[in-house]
Amino acid sequence: MKNTKEIKPILTALYCINFLGNKDEDIDKILKYAFNSIFDCNTNLLTLACVGRTKEQALPEILQILHEDTNYKGDVKWLLKNI
């Protein structure tokens, strides 16, 4: 499998965006299952990192994670409009 090291930061970004946006319970369950089954960990620390924040406040950190730990070089303006 190509670039498996990118899975955790991508799932982290998806979890935070889902948590901070219009939280979809089905996506939440799938992401929690993925963290538990793939990485043998839970999402408690991610939840704590997101509590009390807005998407706009968290977005720079989410993008930093994606830029540093993945090949994602997406447009910030597009991401802001679409989350």
Q: What is the 3-state secondary structure (H, E, C) of the chain?
A: CCCHHHHHHHHHHHHHHHHHCCCCHHHHHHHHHHHHHHHCCCCHHHHHHHCCCCHHHHHHHHHHHHHHHCCCCCCHHHHHHCC
Residue of 59 and 75 predicted with greater confidence: 59
The reported pTM is 0.85
Residue of 71 and 37 predicted with greater confidence: 37
**Tens of pLDDT along 7-56?**
999 999 999 999 998 899 999 999 999 999 999 999 999 999 999 999 88
Domains of the chain, by residue range, sit at: 4-75
Residue 11 CA to residue 9 CA, distance in Å, equals 5
